[in-house]
């Protein structure tokens, strides 16, 4: 092993590099972001689909995530419609996962002899993915710095073996490490020189424009149309046993739903129905994925799905 | 005699599950011991975020030996019988004893079972107890198939210093444990409970939750005192914190005074709910710009970074609250009403906006029955009472619903009466919560609950068993307490009908109202039982039908209770039962009722005539007294019946040979029953 590089974790990119380096050292595949619009790092195929099936899988990656309803035109100190998550998945979950995680905090400068680190109950459920797990939110000095989840079910299928999933909210973590109280003030790279850039320099304009797009300008007729298209395409691809392209379409449908939700054109009752439609897609993809891997028992079907599901 | 020490060590158990898990482990293991005929002196469970601990003292070294004799058939019994006996006991003919008995020579099976060593039995009892432990939510981890609350790491099981060999969740038991996650993570061996407890104390783990709670409460109080402040007591929060730490270290932090402009309820809520911080008050009783956090660590730097970090986090939280407070005040409650149309009250019962429209009418209608209430004020309060639910603050902190409504109403220039009504309209929230008394509050507090109850009855969504997701029992109890504690006269059925008219849902409204009234009767009985009062008397009045005024009902119950404890009352109850019994039997025999008018001409004996006259006088008095709601007079009128009734039963034979006379006497008995039933259904009275 070569010597540990000395990253400046008091910059946004240094924080990411330190986490990538740490998890690379643990044998994880360091992936790049999924090139689709997703609401959280969990939606990356490297987590959802790879959490299914029996083979071992260890990966880490940054995932740009979009939550249209969280847009605040860049004004709220810690709420953004586009933000970054750092995601780690380890399957099967190793017995020392908590210790590994604490090691990663030390690697970004939060050592456990001077910081109060706590695991506080917080279970995770994604109705759109037909997935759930148990775990904690991890507190450092009273601040939630990560989500820690043992996946129990994805796409309606029991996870066996169980994956351990870690999600770091990077902006919030960086604000804490840098000691600033607004995301705009975050140092993206080395501060104090001619090439220095803040988070605002890189993303403020995008936050402003996308908030306006999400709330006021997104063409809802088109979005509804695209939702139906993605739904149909997903089902068609599942039918020809192409679970990976089908999953792209499922993720598209999920994001289109989020945009429609932000535009306020989906009523409370319809909301549950749309989430149900995306969930059926996710379950169909899970079924096709396991089938393609030859890991599906002939009599097995995802839980909570009627036999005449979306596929 | 020996002791068992058990520790299940793993990843953090949710605070809310810990106490129950310790109790369950103790219960299951003790039940297993009892079943295995292993007595013990004491059993104590302890729990920390990372461990479940059980200590059982005074166990025997082995089960008792058992000697059992079973008598079989006679030696000269048919072969089949003997074979059956041998097979049943797993013995050969030679292994049986033969004994001379008075009725001949019999076979005896003598079975001697040696008690097994306690450790061997425990190796079976313990894994079974672990597998049966009922976690509210459980999970698998790694490649395992066992379910537990979170991953389990080690099992310490010692009996008399020696490891009880067992396997659970793929983990073999041993004699080792670990200390505090950060202070003393290395494994070490232990031999007995005292050593275990002391070693863990040295390794910065306090195993007893009561000890941790005390340390938190005392430590926090001391920090407060040193800073010239007092702690806001919150036992529930202290218990929750004790479930988050193995080594509690209270620390005092501060926040910017400017946040004190935000309502104190909001500051306390965000500190408690989001951060698990204790709040403090200054000498004048006002909220202080300080907080106490309880760390799980004695930091190397003395805690400076921990306090600074917590202050940073709290500042961000309070800045959010301050932002919501400022933003929310820019909009009036009135202007928020349209947004309530988008909030679902219940899928079948429409939006909160629709509920508000119903509440306005209902509160104004109720104001007519609430002395001192002003219909317009009640309508205004109802109009605004839900508007804070769509404010940013309540969206973020649901706990401050109503509280914020009051602040925002005052900010909008609403009257204090309306603002207070918005604040208090959810109350009483439970049996010990204060009950509203101000007329306007009473109107909307009643309206809110009645509207909910009537609505859910209309869609047949009632509480069943332990399931009451919409807190309908609490709503009914709230109505009962408001009416009784304010002595408020309200005809419930009329109020139900008014509330029901606000809903467009189809249904048999008469049936719904009767069902709801029965529900109120049940809740009232539960309420009275909790107060140590006789609930059968409530049923005795309710069973008459037509009584839906709870205040009058209680006056009748109280009068009846007083009457029944008097000698006249107790005696009359006996006579009533005698009359009712005779009637029941004879009416069945005759297949007809005997409730016709008594014929004066057939009254031959003096006692009959006297009873008939007493009854007609009593009916007159009772009717007048009931009309005047003078229940004491009605009871006195009943008391006057005791002597004539007693005389009648002493001297008169009901089942006369003369059919006409018999029928007339049965009619007299029927009159007794009917007269008493004007006051209460005596057949419902117990004891």
Nearest CA of chain B to the CA of A6: how many Å?
Answer: 22
In this prediction, residue A300 carries a pLDDT of 75
CA atoms within 13 A of residue B73's CA, in its CB half-sphere: 15
Q: Would an 8 Å CB–CB cutoff place B344 in contact with chain A? A: yes
Computed over its alpha carbons, how large is the radius of gyration of chain A? 20
Residue bearing the bigger pLDDT, B568 or A149: A149
Nearest CA of chain A to the CA of B129: how many Å?
Answer: 23
Nearest to A119 among B12, B137, B277 (CB): B12
Region A189-207 average pLDDT: 96
Region B384-392 average pLDDT: 94
In this prediction, residue A311 carries a pLDDT of 26
Strand-pairing partners, residue A89, are A59, A165
Residues 204-263 of B with CB under 8 A from A: 244-245
> B interface mutation test: which of A56, A121, A149, A273 has the most B CBs within 10 A?
A121
Q: Decide if B649 contacts B575 (C-beta within 8 A).
A: yes
In this prediction, residue A246 carries a pLDDT of 97
Region A274-298 average pLDDT: 92
Q: Domain coordinates of chain B in residue numbers?
A: 2-62+117-202, 71-107, 209-325, 334-533, 562-684
Torsion angle (degrees, nearest 10) of CA B359, B361, B365, B366: 10
- Integer Cα distance of B643 and B638 in angstroms: 10
Q: If pLDDT is split at 50, 70 and 90, which confidence band does B111 have?
A: confident
In this prediction, residue B530 carries a pLDDT of 84
Question: Tokens 């097995």 map to which residue?
Answer: A300
A269–B347 C-beta distance less than 8 A = yes
Region B375-379 average pLDDT: 95
pLDDT tens-digit map of B100-109 = 888 889 999 8
Cβ atoms within 10 Å, residue B357: 18
Q: Would an 8 Å CB–CB cutoff place B301 in contact with chain A? A: yes
Q: If pLDDT is split at 50, 70 and 90, which confidence band does B212 have?
A: very high
- Integer Cα distance of A193 and A214 in angstroms: 35
Whether A297 has a pLDDT exceeding 80, the answer reads no
Please name which of A283, A311, A249 lies closest in space to residue A155, comparing C-alpha atoms. Answer: A283
Which of B209-218, B347-356, B526-535 is predicted with the least confidence, judged by mean pLDDT? B526-535
B299–A162 C-beta distance less than 8 A = no
pLDDT tens-digit map of B605-658 = 999 999 999 999 999 999 999 999 999 899 989 888 999 999 999 999 888 889
- Integer Cα distance of A70 and A81 in angstroms: 5
pLDDT tens-digit map of A223-264 = 999 999 999 999 999 999 999 999 999 999 999 999 998 888
Whether A100 has a pLDDT exceeding 50, the answer reads yes
Please name which of B158, B308, B644, B674 lies closest in space to residue A116, comparing C-alpha atoms. Answer: B308
Whether A308 has a pLDDT exceeding 70, the answer reads no
Nearest CA of chain A to the CA of B169: how many Å?
Answer: 13
Please name which of A132, A134, A136, A138 lies closest in space to residue A150, comparing C-alpha atoms. Answer: A134
pLDDT tens-digit map of B235-262 = 999 999 999 999 999 999 999 999 999 9
- Give the tokens for residue B501: 């008219």
Region B190-199 average pLDDT: 97
Measured distance between the N- and C-terminal CA atoms of chain B, rounded to whole angstroms: 51
CB contacts of A98 in chain B (<8 Å) are: 11
CB contacts of B319 in chain A (<8 Å) are: 77, 181
A95–B153 C-beta distance less than 8 A = yes
The interface predicted TM-score (ipTM) is 0.92
Q: Would an 8 Å CB–CB cutoff place A140 in contact with chain B? A: yes
CB contacts of B182 in chain A (<8 Å) are: 112-113, 117
Beta strands A124-126 and A117-121, pairing class: unpaired
Region A157-166 average pLDDT: 97
Q: Decide if B166 contacts B173 (C-beta within 8 A).
A: yes
Residues with Cβ within 8 Å of residue B235, at least 6 apart in sequence: none
What class has domain B334-533?
Answer: mainly alpha
pLDDT tens-digit map of B35-60 = 999 999 999 999 999 999 999 999 99
In this prediction, residue A306 carries a pLDDT of 33
Q: Would an 8 Å CB–CB cutoff place B12 in contact with chain A? A: yes
Asked: is B562-684 a CATH 1.10.3470 domain? The reply is no
Torsion angle (degrees, nearest 10) of CA B563, B564, B568, B572: 120
Alpha carbon separation from B504 to A64, B454, B459 (Å, rounded): 48, 12, 11
Strand-pairing partners, residue B100, are B105
DSSP state of B176: E
Q: Decide if B175 contacts B154 (C-beta within 8 A).
A: no
Average pLDDT, chain A: 91
In this prediction, residue A268 carries a pLDDT of 67
A121–B296 C-beta distance less than 8 A = no
B143–A92 C-beta distance less than 8 A = yes
Residues 477-536 of B with CB under 8 A from A: none
Q: How many CB pairs under 8 A join A and B?
A: 112
Q: If pLDDT is split at 50, 70 and 90, which confidence band does A299 have?
A: low
Region A100-129 average pLDDT: 93
Which of A90-99, A258-267, B39-48, B295-304 is predicted with the least confidence, judged by mean pLDDT? A258-267
Whether B225 has a pLDDT exceeding 50, the answer reads yes
Q: Would an 8 Å CB–CB cutoff place A180 in contact with chain B? A: no
Q: If pLDDT is split at 50, 70 and 90, which confidence band does B604 have?
A: confident
Nearest to A141 among B12, B149, B310 (CB): B310
CB contacts of A111 in chain B (<8 Å) are: none
- Give the tokens for residue B660: 């006409």
Q: Would an 8 Å CB–CB cutoff place B155 in contact with chain A? A: no
Q: Is the dihedral of CA B540, B542, B546, B550 positive or negative?
A: positive
Helix or strand (DSSP H, E) at B517: helix B509-530
Q: Go through A218-235 and write b for each residue having 16 or more CB atoms within 10 A of its CB, e for each that does not.
A: beeeebeebbeebbebbb
CB contacts of A142 in chain B (<8 Å) are: 275, 277, 293, 309-310, 313-314
A160–B140 C-beta distance less than 8 A = yes
Nearest CA of chain B to the CA of A183: how many Å?
Answer: 12
Q: If pLDDT is split at 50, 70 and 90, which confidence band does A170 have?
A: very high
- Angle ∠(A187,A191,A195) on CA atoms, nearest 5: 105
A162–B140 C-beta distance less than 8 A = yes
Over pLDDT 90: what percentage of chain B? 72
Q: Is the dihedral of CA B221, B224, B229, B234 positive or negative?
A: negative
Query: Is the link from the previous residue into B456 a cis peptide, with omega within 30 of 0?
Result: no
Nearest CA of chain B to the CA of A50: how many Å?
Answer: 15
Region B11-37 average pLDDT: 96
């Amino acid at each position: 092993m070569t010597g540990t590089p000395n990253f400046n974790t008091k910059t946004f990119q240094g924080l990411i590099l330190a986490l990538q380096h740490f998890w690379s050292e643990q044998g994880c595949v360091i992936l790049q972001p999924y090139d689709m619009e997703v609401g959280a790092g969990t939606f990356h195929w490297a987590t959802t689909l790879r959490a299914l099936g029996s083979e071992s899988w260890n990966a880490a990656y940054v995932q740009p995530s979009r939550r249209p309803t969280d847009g605040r035109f860049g004004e709220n100190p810690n709420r953004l419609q586009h933000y970054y998550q750092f995601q780690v998945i380890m399957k099967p979950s190793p017995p020392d996962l908590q210790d590994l995680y604490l090691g990663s905090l030390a690697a970004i400068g939060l050592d456990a002899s001077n910081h109060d680190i706590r695991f506080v109950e917080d279970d995770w459920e994604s109705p759109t993915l037909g997935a759930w797990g148990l775990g904690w939110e991890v507190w450092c000095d009273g601040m939630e710095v990560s989500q820690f989840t043992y996946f129990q079910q994805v796409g309606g299928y029991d996870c066996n073996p169980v994956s351990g999933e870690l999600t770091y909210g990077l902006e919030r973590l960086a604000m804490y490490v840098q000691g600033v109280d607004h995301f705009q003030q975050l140092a993206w790279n080395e501060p104090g020189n001619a090439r220095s850039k803040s988070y605002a320099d890189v993303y403020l304009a995008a936050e402003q424009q996308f908030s306006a797009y999400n709330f006021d300008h997104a063409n809802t007729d088109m979005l509804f149309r695209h939702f139906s298209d993605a739904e149909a395409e997903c089902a068609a691809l599942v039918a020809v046993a192409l679970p990976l392209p089908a999953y792209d379409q499922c993720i598209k449908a999920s994001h289109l739903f989020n945009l429609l939700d932000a535009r306020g054109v989906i009523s409370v009752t319809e909301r549950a129905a749309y989430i149900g439609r995306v969930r059926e897609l996710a379950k169909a993809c899970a079924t096709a994925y396991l089938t393609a891997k030859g890991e599906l028992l002939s009599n097995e079907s995802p839980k909570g799905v009627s036999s005449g599901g979306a596929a | 005699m020996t002791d068992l020490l058990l520790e299940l060590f793993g990843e953090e158990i949710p605070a809310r599950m810990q106490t129950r898990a310790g109790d369950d482990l103790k219960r299951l293991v003790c039940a297993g011991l009892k079943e295995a005929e292993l007595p013990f002196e004491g059993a104590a469970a302890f729990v920390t975020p990372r461990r479940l601990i059980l200590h059982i003292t005074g166990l025997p070294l082995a089960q008792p030996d058992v000697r059992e004799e079973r008598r079989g058939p006679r030696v000269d019994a048919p072969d089949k019988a003997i074979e059956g006996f041998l097979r049943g006991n797993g013995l050969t003919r030679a292994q049986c004893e033969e004994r001379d008995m008075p009725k001949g020579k019999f076979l005896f099976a003598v079975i001697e079972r040696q008690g097994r060593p306690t450790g061997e039995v425990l190796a079976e009892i313990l894994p079974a107890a672990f597998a049966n432990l009922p976690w509210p939510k459980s999970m698998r981890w790694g490649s395992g198939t066992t379910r537990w609350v979170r991953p389990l790491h080690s099992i310490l099981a010692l009996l008399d210093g020696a490891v009880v060999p067992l396997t659970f969740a793929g983990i073999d038991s041993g004699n080792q444990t670990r200390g505090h996650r950060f202070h003393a993570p290395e494994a070490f061996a232990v031999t007995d409970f005292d050593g275990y407890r002391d070693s863990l104390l040295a390794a910065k783990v306090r195993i007893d939750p009561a000890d941790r709670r005390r340390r938190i409460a005392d430590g926090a109080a001391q920090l407060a005192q040193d800073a010239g402040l007092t702690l806001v007591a919150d036992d529930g929060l202290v218990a929750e914190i004790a479930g988050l730490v193995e080594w509690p270290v209270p620390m005092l932090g501060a926040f910017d005074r400017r946040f004190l402009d935000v309502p104190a309820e909001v500051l306390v809520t965000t500190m408690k709910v989001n951060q698990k911080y204790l709040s403090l008050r200054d000498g004048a009783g006002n909220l202080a710009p300080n907080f106490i956090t309880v760390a799980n660590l004695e930091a190397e730097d003395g805690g400076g970074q921990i306090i600074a970090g917590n202050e940073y986090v709290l500042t961000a939280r309070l800045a959010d609250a301050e932002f919501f407070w400022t933003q929310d005040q820019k909009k009036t409650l009135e202007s928020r009403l349209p947004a309530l149309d988008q909030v679902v009250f219940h899928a079948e019962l429409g939006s909160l906006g629709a509920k508000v429209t119903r509440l306005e009418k209902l509160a104004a209608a109720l104001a007519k029955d609430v002395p001192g209430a002003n219909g317009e004020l009640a309508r205004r309060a109802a109009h605004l009472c839900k508007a804070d639910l769509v404010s940013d603050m309540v969206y973020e902190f649901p706990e401050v619903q109503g509280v914020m409504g009051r602040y925002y109403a005052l900010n909008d220039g609403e009257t204090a009466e309306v603002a207070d009504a918005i604040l208090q309209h959810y109350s009483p929230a439970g049996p010990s919560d204060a009950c509203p008394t101000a007329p306007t509050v009473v109107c909307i507090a009643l309206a809110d609950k009645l509207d909910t109850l009537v609505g859910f009855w209309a869609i047949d969504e009632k509480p069943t068993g332990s399931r009451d997701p919409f807190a309908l029992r609490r709503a009914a109890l709230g109505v009962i307490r408001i009416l009784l504690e304010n002595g408020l006269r309200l005809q419930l059925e009329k109020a139900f009908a008014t509330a029901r008219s606000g809903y467009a849902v189809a249904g048999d409204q008469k049936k719904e109202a009767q069902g709801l009234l029965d529900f109120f009767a049940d809740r009232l009985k539960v309420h009275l039982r909790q107060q140590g009062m006789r609930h059968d008397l409530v049923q005795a009045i309710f069973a008459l039908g037509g009584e839906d005024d709870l205040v009058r009902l209680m006056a009748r119950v109280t009068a009846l209770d007083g009457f029944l404890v008097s000698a006249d009352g107790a005696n009359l109850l006996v006579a009533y039962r005698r009359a009712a019994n005779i009637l029941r039997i004879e009416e069945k025999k005759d297949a007809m009722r005997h409730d016709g008018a008594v014929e004066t001409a057939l009254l031959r004996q003096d006692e009959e005539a006297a009873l008939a006259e007493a009854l007609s006088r009593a009916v007159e008095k009772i009717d007048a007294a009931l009309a005047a709601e003078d229940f004491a007079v009605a009871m006195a009128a009943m008391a006057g019946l005791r002597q004539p009734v007693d005389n009648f039963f002493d001297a008169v034979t009901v089942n006369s040979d003369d059919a006409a006379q018999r029928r007339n006497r049965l009619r007299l008995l029927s009159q007794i029953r009917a007269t008493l039933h004007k006051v209460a259904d005596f057949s419902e009275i117990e004891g």
